[in-house]
Amino acid sequence: MALNQRIDIQEEIAKTYFHTLPKKHGKKKPKWRPFLPWAVAVLAFLFAAAILIFKSSIEIKVRLLGEMPSAPMSGVAHKFGENLDKGIFLVEGGAPNKDIVKNAYFTGDAKEFSIARPEELVLCNSRGSGWANYTIELKEPVGLDKLDIRYTAKGVRGDEFLALVIVDSSKRSYRLEKDLSSAMGKDWQRYTVNFRRVRKAVDFSNISTIKFEFGALTAGNYPSAVMSLKDVYITKTRRLKWL
């Protein structure tokens, strides 16, 4: 009997001093809380990626703008539905660019009937000395060693020729041979003249005058030949890039 009482007393003591506290009833933890660190990590990654992409786009834009010519031509669409390549106008329509051109005029057999209009130049080769040209004198010499001359022209009959003459600062001149001259058609055509084949003839780093020759003897045109010329500009030489 004493033994049983001792056991009961020990159980009472255990219940009194070692009982477990009752669980408190409160708010349950949200089910999404274990995923919170992952969500924060994903947001941080997306933010860093957005900054990287935005920064890259800025660098690309700056690089492209830096490669554009310092004096681009107007971006207005060409009358024939094309966009002119970026370059610098010497003559726009039939009017010289006064910022670059010092003087522009007709000489020889071109003086009598040729005329400059706002939209084009009308080149008339009358009878006489056998040479006729439209001369463009520049305010400052230009380097044509890496540039092309482009222009738009047409003839009345479609069998006329324009021969380009270039003059450097030392007054040395070179007339392009007939096989490099521009054979006219009856419709407007855009022409490109590259000087790689004649670079040793004059100082191409200092070209001061450009002439369009259309006389009977110098360009092989028939007397009274009539041509139209407009939109004369210089642009960077295109080179093929092999990948």
User: Given this model, what pLDDT does residue 135 score?
Assistant: 98
Please give the model's pTM, rounded to 2 decimal places. Answer: 0.63
Q: What pLDDT was estimated at residue 44? A: 78
Q: Tokens 């020990």 appear where?
A: 10
Helix then strand then coil, in percent of the chain rounded to 5, is 25, 30, 45
Report CA 240 to chain centroid distance, whole Å: 16
Length of the chain: 243
Half-sphere exposure of residue 118: CA atoms within 13 angstroms, side-chain side: 0
Whether residue 85 contacts residue 190, with contact meaning beta carbons closer than 8 Å, is answered with no
Q: Are 197 and 225 contacting, i.e. CB atoms less than 8 angstroms apart?
A: no
Q: Tell me what pLDDT residue 137 has.
A: 98
CATH no. of 88-236: 2.60.120.260
Alpha carbons 229 and 116: distance in angstroms, whole number: 10
Contact status, residue 165 vs residue 198, Cβ threshold 8 Å: no
Could you state, in order of their start, the residue ranges of all structural domains in the chain? 36-66, 88-236
Average pLDDT of adjacent 10-residue blocks, the chain of 243 residues: 53 53 53 67 74 48 30 35 65 96 96 96 91 96 90 94 93 79 88 80 92 93 94 78 38
Q: In whole angstroms, what is the distance from residue 240 CA to residue 243 CA?
A: 10
Secondary structure, 3-state, 140-206: EEECCCCEEEEEEEEECCCCCEEEEEEEECCCCEEECCHHHCEECCCCCEEEEECCHHHCCCCCCCC
**Whole-number Å distance between alpha carbons of 199 and 47:** 56
Of 134, 105, 139, 106, nearest to 208 (Cα)?
Answer: 139
pLDDT of residue 118: 95
69 DSSP assignment: -
**What pLDDT, on a 0 to 100 scale, did the predictor assign at position 6?**
54
Structure tokens at 78: 């060409």
